[in-house]
Copies of this chain bind each other. A is one copy, B any other.
Amino acid sequence: MTEQPLTRSEENYLKAVYSLSGNTDKGVSTSDLATRLETKASSVTDMVQKLAEKNLLHYRKYQGAKLTPGGKAAAIQIVRKHRLWEVFLHEKLGFAWDEVHDIAEQLEHIKSEELILRLERFLGHPKYDPHGDPIPDPDGRIQARRSMPVSEMKPGMEGVITGVRDSSSSFLQYLDKQQLVLGTRISVVEVFDYDQSVQIETADNRITLSFDVSKNIKVQVENG
């Protein structure tokens, strides 16, 4: 009854529900899942019903999908594997942070608990992946960092870049070009009312960030 092996598709659905749920307690809509999984709403309905059958999520017609405790645990394990593999690809194989995601999408489905435990040890028990996202421990516990997007910072505030809200290749490459890598210390010089753009200062540069960009950079602000 417990611990049925999941197919790759099932794992992808659970991960999608998990990531679209965010902090909220609300069900994830069929169409949001369809968009995320690049599939059709009808396919989502089918799969969601199947996963509900397996007690991995709660589902009532027209009310969207919500993970059960078991479903959430499964989803977190996949996230854990994904992020550990990303660390491996980046730290050990030298892939850039914008190149790791697609390969990790494949690697996250490899079935072996022992493999992941050993990989984690080999990597030195990393706490964060190359995009600054926390790596769940073997029991699924996640210690989140409190951080805020640059877009919410006020002039004069300082902090260190600890993550991104958009892991797309184009965004990550843009950050590389601007030398805004994880760990970079920045301070906000000015926020322009006109278009919500933000001027920031690093050790080397002054850069103006569009609102869209500033929303997607997460900063750990000095305790104030």
On A, residues with C-beta under 8 Å from B are 89, 92-95, 99, 102-103, 106-107, 110-112, 114-115, 118-119, 122
Contacts and interface: CB of A to CB of B under 8 A. Distances in A.
Contact of A93 (B94, B95, B111, B115): B115
Nearest to A111: B106
Contacts of A99: 114
A119 B89 CA distance: 9
Contacts of A93: 115, 118-119, 122
A9 B203 CA distance: 53
A110 B115 CA distance: 15
Contacts of A106: 110-112
Query: Quick one: copies of this chain in the complex?
Result: 2
A154 B107 CA distance: 48
A115 B102 CA distance: 11
Given A89-B115, A102-B112, A106-B112, 16 more contacts: A92-B122, A93-B115, A93-B118, A93-B119, A93-B122, A94-B118, A95-B114, A95-B118, A99-B114, A103-B110, A103-B112, A103-B115, A106-B110, A106-B111, A107-B107, A107-B110
Nearest to A115: B103
Across the A-B interface, give the 9 residue pairs with the lowest CB-CB distance, nearest first: A93-B118, A106-B110, A103-B112, A93-B122, A103-B115, A92-B122, A107-B110, A94-B118, A93-B119
A145 to B, nearest CB: 28
Nearest to A102: B112
Nearest to A118: B93
19 contacts: A89-B115, A92-B122, A93-B115, A93-B118, A93-B119, A93-B122, A94-B118, A95-B114, A95-B118, A99-B114, A102-B112, A103-B110, A103-B112, A103-B115, A106-B110, A106-B111, A106-B112, A107-B107, A107-B110
A84 B112 CA distance: 18
Nearest to A117: B93
Contacts of A94: 118
Nearest to A93: B118
